[in-house]
Amino acid sequence: MIPSRKDQRRSRHFDKPSYRRRNVVERCINWLKESRRIGTRHEKLAITFMGMIKLAMIRRCQRVLGS
């Protein structure tokens, strides 16, 4: 979070639980982008792209669980 300037009067609300969830989502997206095929979007159709995302998530889960 970027601190506000001194000459500004309004302070922004910081929701810590939402910020933590955002971190989880960003890490998941970065894990998906490890797969070159997803990061560069070789798939033209949305359904095949979604299939590649599912395969990448399965691979990630297998890697994390140690299978």
1 occurs within a structural domain: no
Pick out the chain residues at pLDDT < 50: none
- The pTM is what? 0.57
22 occurs within a structural domain: yes
| pLDDT tens digits for range 38-47 | 777 788 888 9
d(CA 48, CA 42): 10
5 occurs within a structural domain: no
Sequence-distant contacts of 51-58: CB under 8 A, at least 24 apart: 56/31, 56/32, 57/32
d(CA 21, CA 59): 22
Q: Which residue range forms the structural domain that includes residue 33?
A: 16-65
